[in-house]
Structure 1
Amino acid sequence: MKLGLGLGYWGAAQPPGQARLVELAEDHGYDSVWTGEAWGSDALTPLAWLGSRTRRLRLGTAIVQMAARTPTATAMAAMTLDHLSDGRFVLGIGASGPQVVEGWYGQPYERPLERTREYVSILRQALCRDVVRFAGRHYELPASTGTGLGKSLRSTLHPRRPCLPVLLAAEGPKNVALAAEIADGWLPLFYSPYDDTQHRSSLASGFAHPHARSTAESFEVVCPVDVVVDEDIDRAADAVRPRLALYIGGMGPKGRNFHYDVFARIGFEADCQRIRELYLSGRKGDAAAAVPRTLVEQVALVGPAAKIRDEARAWSDSLVTTLVVRGDERAVRVAAEAFR
């Protein structure tokens, strides 16, 4: 089990102490640091800024939203960061959801699996410095509309290495299978080491595809996990509950909330219905309070250091190859000890 540090995306401004946290993670033997984006701070700029202070940490995006950049623009950024970091960059991408894609980026969200497949195909052409040509339902290079003067181009920048890893964020069973088929790794947002039968089945389906890129042995599973160290378990869980309530209740409309579905599939559907009802009625505090501690403990490590050490075994025995710690300096230290 490798450890990563998860910084996510900013709120109103850059959270204080991020540079110190990154240095601490590197000092404690962490393998990687990961940034994200929603509809505020982007994933690439903070990663480049903070990554310049590191010596060996892999620098990963979890995630770059596909709607934010064309496939070739994402390839340009990835190759540039890979050069600047001397081959330490890991590109994590994801489709996001309809509220963000259509509301923030002004793009249609229909057929996300098909769109992802096309995006990754173009991305790999650019990353390998092939001449980029593609004619699909969602993307066309060169474009057939406009002036008609478009040319098939190859990157002027030579790749730092031939196989820059591409990881795919996925939650639904079909999307998880797609990750195993076309990507070098999978980025779950919420994952339970205690109930992952469906995930194993989906990954096996993807690996069985005749043109699958990876095998189970070479595939990365990079999972963010909230780590809150506190002698009071319920108080520790309280630090996680608002985020879970946000994703279960507010990150998607009824019937199209993939985060809600993750928890419903592992036995918490009645709780999810209540959380969603409260959240959508504006009672966000009550929605957070309605998140059971048992649900928190399925996807997070909360409580005294000894409890976290005991629960580390379940994560070490799971599909996860890199556990990405989301927490403060104490969480970074305790996780390093627990997974040593």
Structure 2
Amino acid sequence: MSDTARDIYLPVAAQPSIDTFATFATQAEQLGYDRIWCPETWGRDAVTILTAIAERTDEIGIGTSILNVYSRSPALLGQTAATLQEVSDGRFRMGLGPSGPILVEGWHGTEFESPLRFTRETIEIVKTVVAGEPLEYDGKIHQLSGFRLRFDPPESVPPIDAGGMSPKSVELAGRFGDGWHALMLTPEGLRERIEDFEHGSDLGDRDREDQRITLALPCIALEDRERARYLARNHIAFYVGGMGTFYREALKRQGFEDTAETIAIEWANRNKEAAIEAIGDDLLDELGAVGTPEEARERVADFEAIDGIDAINISFPRAAEPEEIEATIDVLAPE
């Protein structure tokens, strides 16, 4: 049996209600999952969802994956971390990251500047705030003074993880964060980025045993194998073709240059089915655990066996129906 934890990544797509998210969370807690991660993109805000989940669960961890560092101030992110740690009785873990220009500039109207530096400074500021220390910070981007929590800081300071895809961003996560959130990676690509993380950990003189690498793994386990694989292809094509260059560049670094370009071109030309079809079986199986229940279980176990992975975050295709998500949560439950 693997020592790797199994987490749940709540669906990025809009769901019927907050109760739907809470149902996924309570199901996951009953089945023994370690943590619930909540994304924040264009749907409901992650903080409200996690507050509702914290009130309706008892033991399962909660976390953000990820809050972008541009749409909330660093001090407010610190307040948020301290408050969610309080409302969850110490079960909170924060994931932060820069996201990308489409979300930051297009949706929030904020300049996407110096993402690595912005992320580093935000992590440092959040850690100061949640520790209850006076905030006197003189950075290249942020110059802050005079802030301090007006309530007792949490007894257990919540860990602050960083998201990242490029070698430098993963190195930053290792150097300044308590963990790294990985995604869109093949097993070989994951091993290369783990080396970057551990190099950053060494640079920051961090204890690697105290840090956590969490892989968000696209998963869908259905008796209807073709439906499962189509959903996953659609999900990958959407991110590579429609969400900026980061996912495309990640695929290129892992040896899928032609596929990444084809997906991007077809998506830009609104040939979405062609973009979906460009994702071959080899790439699909390299990036996720997709197919029948038996196939999905075996593939998750393959990823769990990769040295350096501390948690597998079971995530779901954006077009999956709630009942398909519930079925997958059940099939892939920890043993």
The corresponding residue for 1:30 is: 33
Summarize deviations over 1:86-105 as a string: whole Å, max 9, x none.
10011111101012212222
1:221 to 210, 213, 230: 213
Which residue identity lines up with residue 311 of structure 2 in the other structure?
T
Describe the shift of the 1:262–1:271 C-alpha distance in structure 2 as closer, same or farther (beyond 3 A).
same
1:273 to 250, 261, 268: 261
Contact preservation (8 Å) 2:220, 2:291 = yes
Q: Give the match for residue 72 of structure 2.
A: 69
Cα separation, 1, equivalents of 2:226 and 2:279: 11
Give unmatched runs, 5+ long, in structure 1: 143-151
Give CA-to-partner distance per residue, 1:2-34, whole Å, 9 cap, x none. Answer: 111111434375477332221111111111111
Cα pair distance change 1:8/1:303, threshold 3 Å: closer
In the alignment, the residues of structure 2 paired with residue 306 and residue 9 of structure 1 have an alpha-carbon distance, to the nearest angstrom, of: 25
2:53 counterpart of 1:50: yes
The worse-fitting range, judged by mean Cα deviation, of 128-137 and 233-242 is: 233-242
Instruction: In structure 2, list runs of 5 or more residues that go unmatched.
Output: 317-324
Asked whether 1:154 is paired with 2:148, we answer yes
Once structures 1 and 2 are overlaid, which stretch shifts more, 169-178 or 198-207? Answer: 198-207
- The aligned counterpart of 2:164 is 170
Deviates more, 1:195-204 or 1:35-44: 195-204
In the alignment, which of 313, 322, 329 is matched to residue 324 of structure 1?
A: 313
Q: SS of the counterpart of 2:37?
A: strand
Using the TM superposition, give the Cα deviation of residue 216 of structure 1 relative to its aligned residue in structure 2, in angstroms. Answer: 2.6
User: Residue in 1 aligned with 2:241?
Assistant: 249
1:294 partner SS: helix
CA contact (8 A) 2:24 2:326 kept: yes
Larger radius of gyration: 1
Give CA-to-partner distance per residue, 1:288-318, whole Å, 9 cap, x none. Answer: 1221122121121112222223323321212
**1:173 is aligned with what amino acid?**
P
Between the aligned partners of 1:58 and 1:117, the Cα distance in structure 2 is 24
CA distance in 1, matches of 2:156, 2:18: 35
Pick closer, same or farther for the CA change 1:218–1:46 going to 2, 3 Å. same
Structure 1 residues 12, 282: closer, same or farther in 2, change over 3 A?
Answer: farther
Which residue of the partner structure matches residue 298 of structure 2? 310
C-alpha contact 1:9 1:42 (8 A) present in aligned 2: no
1:283 aligns with 2:280: no
Per the TM alignment, residue 234 of structure 1 is displaced from its structure 2 partner at its CA by 3.8
Map of 1:147 onto structure 2: none
Which one-letter code corresponds to 1:323 in the other structure? Answer: I
Q: Which residue of 2 aligns with 1:197?
A: 191
Query: Alignment length, in residue pairs?
Result: 323
What's the offset of the Cα at 1:132?
0.3
Equivalents in 2 of 1:182, 1:217: separation in Å? 14
Q: For 1:288, what is the secondary structure of its paired residue?
A: helix
Once the two structures are overlaid, the 10-residue window that deviates more, 96-105 or 232-241, is 232-241
Q: Partner of 1:187 in structure 2?
A: 181
Cα RMSD of the aligned pairs, angstroms, is: 1.8
Match of 1:222, SS state, is: strand
**2:18 touches 2:49 (CA, 8 Å); kept in 1?**
no
Partner Cα distance (1:308, 1:316) in 2:
12
Instruction: Say which of 106, 113, 117 aligns to 2:116.
Output: 113
Looking at structure 1, the residues matched to 8 and 28 of structure 2 have their Cα atoms a distance apart, in angstroms, of 7
In the alignment, residue 87 of structure 2 is paired with which amino acid?
L
Say which of 102, 106, 111 aligns to 2:105.
102
Q: Is the 8 A contact 1:194 1:314 kept in 2?
A: no
SS in 1 for 2:10: strand
1:323 CA drift (Å): 1.2
Q: Counterpart in 2 of 1:122?
A: 125
Corresponding residue for residue 201 of structure 2: 207
Query: Is the counterpart of residue 334 in structure 1 residue 331 in structure 2?
Result: yes
CA drift at 1:259: 0.9
Find the aligned partners of 2:181 and 2:22 in 1 and give their Cα distance: 24
Q: Per the alignment, in what secondary structure is the counterpart of residue 61 of structure 1?
A: strand
Match in the other structure for 2:319: none
1:204-262 superposed Cα distances (whole Å, 9 cap, x missing partner): 220221x34x333222112222221234544321011111111111111xxxx111111
Matched to 2:39, the amino acid is: G
